[in-house]
Amino acid sequence: MSSRTRDKPSSTNALKRLTHELQDLDRQPCESTLHLGPATDSDLFTWEAVLKGPRDPSSPYFNGLWLLSISVPQNYPLAPPKVHFVTPICHPNVHFSSGEICLTLLSGEHWAPTYTLATTLGAIQQLLTSPGLDSPLNVDIANLYRENDSVGAEGLVRFWTGEKRWAGEGKAGWISERRPGTGGHLSESIH
């Protein structure tokens, strides 16, 4: 039996699950994102999201918007998606150059098939307010937090959150009117 034949049931299950998640997003949009959906109309295994910063105005990530790329494996939901930041972000658990995210959920350690792409994005949004300083991918910002230099750390984060805010790249640059909760012009959605 070829690997292509063996992968077919997993791939079929993943497609069914992703189609179901997309339908759920039509009914109940993801609260942690401005946009979450397939990057193209022809590939359900490649998604993108525009992650919103936390609602807390005291957070240095407040009002932030970041484009994330999501690669869904053929054996999803048994395996977690690969998610990385496309828009630069200054965060202890995000590699500054590659956008790689250090989150146990994404490594598979705490992944469960009950998680969805929307709940995964919610966990990433939560990471913005609760960084893990024990496993940083951005050692410089983690050291500022460890040394209790919150003025320096938050100033740097606020600079990058304001300066490098998502500005419309990717398919999400025009938020489709066909999806409830994500429709209209981008400028209408972020105010």
Q: Is 30 a catalytic residue?
A: no
pLDDT band at 131 (very low <50, low <70, confident <90, very high): very high
Is the backbone peptide bond immediately before 81 cis, with ω within 30 degrees of 0?
no
- pLDDT attached to residue 187: 37
Number of domain units in the chain: 1
User: What CATH number does residue 8 fall under?
Assistant: 3.10.110.10
Give tens-digit pLDDT for 141-171: 999 999 999 999 999 999 999 887 777 765 5
Give tens-digit pLDDT for 15-49: 999 999 999 999 999 999 999 999 998 999 999 99
Cα separation, 75 vs 88, in Å, equals 29
- pLDDT attached to residue 147: 95
Residue 2 pLDDT exceeds 70 = no
Residue 172 pLDDT exceeds 70 = no
Residue 188 pLDDT exceeds 70 = no
Bridge partner residues of 51 (DSSP): 33, 66
- Between residues 182 and 61, the one the model is more confident about: 61
- pLDDT attached to residue 191: 36
- Between residues 158 and 9, the one the model is more confident about: 158
Q: What share of the chain is helix, strand, coil (3-state, %, to 5)?
A: 35, 15, 45
The catalytic position among 18, 90, 102, 153 is 102
Residue 117 pLDDT exceeds 80 = yes
Q: Considering the chain, what is the average pLDDT of its residues? A: 85
The whole-number average pLDDT for the span 164-186 is 50
Q: What is the DSSP string of 41-99?
A: TTEEEEEEEEEEPPS-TTSTTTT-EEEEEEE--TTTTTSPPEEEESS----TTB-TTT-
- Which residues span the domain enclosing 65? 3-189
Residue 1 pLDDT exceeds 90 = no
Overall size of the chain counted in residues: 191
- Between residues 93 and 3, the one the model is more confident about: 93
pLDDT band at 4 (very low <50, low <70, confident <90, very high): very low
